[in-house]
Amino acid sequence: MERTGTIPFMALQRLSGNHVIHMFQHDVEAFMWVFLWVCSCSDGLKREILVNPYKEWMGLEVLDCKNEKQDFLRWPVMMVSKHHMPNNLFCLFLAIFSPQLCAYIWGDIPTSADHNSQEQEDMARVQALLPKFREVRAELYRRFSPKDCFDDALRHPILRQIHHITDSIISQWAGFGDAP
């Protein structure tokens, strides 16, 4: 039941209030939350500028923060700082991909009996996924500009492309075992 970390960056399963074995996948999800926060709340001058929704999350209790983060993931709107604008499309991808990654790739948390083998499998999956992230980022930036996220006419095509990419990754993973 031990929870360590800053609540807004913790994996959703770890914020559930239930007993959850801490797994590598929780650290990966936490990294995604940190990446989104850095791109939104740092101005490139080593200063933190809290913006919503992160500003709100900082003062919430565990379950309230979990609910707010889940709401954010249903319709993510990225408020990326000017310094990190080149990451805007990739941040949107991560926000959309993260819940699917947790639900379809990792699924249920294993029992303590198979914890170690699951950890090894998860680490291998993430190592295989990292090159795919580079491909996704390159594909998004070939088709769209980071500023396109703020154009109402382009938002739907961007989201459709991100969902297509996400579904492709999930189906490849499900269809070919551990290969993303």
* Tens-place pLDDT, residues 97-130: 888 777 665 555 555 556 667 677 777 777 878 8
Contacts of 169 (CB under 8 A, 6+ apart): 97, 129, 132, 136, 180
Residue 1 pLDDT greater than 50, yes or no? no
Q: Can you give the pTM of this predicted structure?
A: 0.79
In this prediction, residue 174 has a pLDDT band, given cuts at 50, 70 and 90, of: low
Instruction: Sketch the domain layout of the chain as residue ranges.
Output: 7-175
The SS3 assignment for 61 reads coil
